[in-house]
Amino acid sequence: MAFTMKRVYEPAEASDGYRVLVDRLWPRGVKKERAELDEWDKDVAPSPELRTEWHHHRERFDEFAARYRAELDAGEAAKALLEAGREHDRVTLVFAARDEQVNHVSVLLGWLADHGASVES
């Protein structure tokens, strides 16, 4: 099992394996057919309150990451994603954020790695 991440605006590839959209909102301008998703896991995304408070302010990323990790620890969605990863050789976490480094998916990948998953950058 290996997890990786990719923007939804990039073309899907066979090497992506199992593709999971991990955003709570559907990405603008993307048709469902084009996204080529296997799953849309809204529950693993940050809560609406946390998402709107942070709203991609780089200077508050550490605070956001800590709070998001607490949400992941408290919920079942990330644990279910970890289990789904055991069923597939590769899971690509698909997201819409512009910044490919400072976003919730990088935090989620770190959480998955801390819980035994193999993570590729």
| pLDDT 10s digits, 73-83 | 999 999 999 99
Question: CA of 44: how far to CAs of 11, 15, 56, 59, 108, in Å?
Answer: 23, 23, 17, 23, 8
Q: What's the whole-model pTM score?
A: 0.93
Residue 34's pLDDT band (boundaries 50, 70, 90)?
Answer: very high
What is the per-residue DSSP string for 82-114? HHHHHTSSEEEEEE--S-SSSSHHHHHHHHHHH
Q: What is the pLDDT of residue 100?
A: 87
